[in-house]
Amino acid sequence: MSEAQKVNRYELMEKIQMVDFALVDLTLYLDTHPQDSQAIQQFNQLAVESRDLKHVYEQHFGPLRQYGASFSGYPWNWKDTPWPWQL
Amino acid sequence: MWYYEKKLQYPVKVTECNPRLAKYLVEQYGGADGELSAALRYLNQRYTIPDKVIGLLTDIGTEEFAHLEMIATMIYKLTKDATPEQMKEAGLGAHYANHDHALYYNNAAGDPWTATYIAAKGDPIADLYEDIAAEEKARATYQWIINMSDDPCLNDSLKFLREREIIHSQRFREAVEILKFERDRKQIF
């Protein structure tokens, strides 16, 4: 992989944080506005975007999620550093 | 059940080692209006709140744990390179004597976290007003800490958390209206 193609871990993480933040905020909003179909559409679109971004991240940097929500590489790499406070 | 995700909700960066700031920040870790209290308060109220707002309490309670992890990260980064002398100068000598650099659930004055910080009255309106007040108190605490901090990186993360308190307060206010509407609807028929 050339330098230009190298995925920047921080940039990708920040993208995931942005999309996931919108999903958190929409979740709380929809809990009190369950009939806002436009917000639901936006939620579902962002859910796809989040899934795709995490797929790319995990291919480079290992699993993000616990208990089978992410696949493992070999050897088992869930327990690998960095943890969020070390990144 | 809960799934852990190996990411912070929002990036946490600090400019430099600053144990004094960590001493104040711990208020939001193990203090009365801190993130631990918030998470436990909301998740505990879920079992007796009307079905209409269980989802909201679950989701805000869960987000509070993400905030707790951000605060922990701030404290960790602000203190990890501090010498015992620097800890002492920052007013963390007593903390160092007992915990070294370990985090502990206490408030800025050093009082350990206690369940008395949490209210659960079983009355939905009383509990939701409690939650609104808790969010407003947490928002104010973030503001006081930002006022004392001169670390622009840290303040960026603190401002994010301050804004979240406003959103949570707003959602809880809507939950009160939802319950009032339901109550009045039942009286009509």
CB contact under 8 A, A31 and B69: no
B135 assigned to active site: yes
* Chain B residues within 8 A of A20 when measuring between CB atoms: 7, 9
Q: Which CATH number describes the domain made up of B19-113+121-188? A: 1.20.1260.10
Mean pLDDT in consecutive groups of 10 residues from the start of chain B, 189 residues: 97 98 98 98 98 98 98 98 98 97 98 97 97 98 98 98 98 97 80
- Of the candidates B35, B63, B95, B130, the residue annotated as catalytic is B35
* Residue A52 half-sphere exposure toward CB, CA atoms < 13 A: 7
Predicted-complex ipTM score: 0.95
Return the pLDDT at B125. Answer: 96
- Cis link prior to A75 (omega < 30° from 0)? yes
Return the pLDDT at B187. Answer: 74
How far apart CA B65 and CA B35 sit, in angstroms, is: 7
- Of the candidates B27, B64, B95, B130, the residue annotated as catalytic is B64
CB contact under 8 A, A25 and B77: no
- A3 Cα to chain B: minimum distance (Å): 24
User: With contact defined as beta carbons under 8 Å apart, do B49 and B124 qualify?
Assistant: yes
Residue B91 corresponds to which tokens in the numbers above?
Answer: 């007013």
B5 assigned to active site: no
Instruction: Search chain B and give the residue with CA nearest A14.
Output: B11
B165 assigned to active site: yes
A4-63 confidence digits (pLDDT tens): 556 899 999 999 999 999 999 999 999 999 999 999 999 999 999 999 999 999 999 999
Return the pLDDT at B185. Answer: 85
Return the pLDDT at B183. Answer: 87
How far apart CA B48 and CA B118 sit, in angstroms, is: 15
CA dihedral sign, ordered B9, B118, B79, B20: positive
B64 assigned to active site: yes
* Chain B residues within 8 A of A85 when measuring between CB atoms: 8, 12, 69, 72-73, 76-77
Phi–psi pair at A5, nearest 5 degrees: -80, -20
Residue A3 pLDDT exceeds 60 = no
B150 alpha carbon, distance to own chain's centre: 21
User: With contact defined as beta carbons under 8 Å apart, do B20 and B90 qualify?
Assistant: yes
Mutate: best of A35, A60, A85, partner B, most B CBs <10 A: A85
How far apart CA B134 and CA B143 sit, in angstroms, is: 14
How far apart CA A82 and CA A76 sit, in angstroms, is: 15
The domain locations on chain B are: 19-113+121-188
Return the pLDDT at A5. Answer: 52
Nearest to B4 among A20, A33, A66 (CB): A66
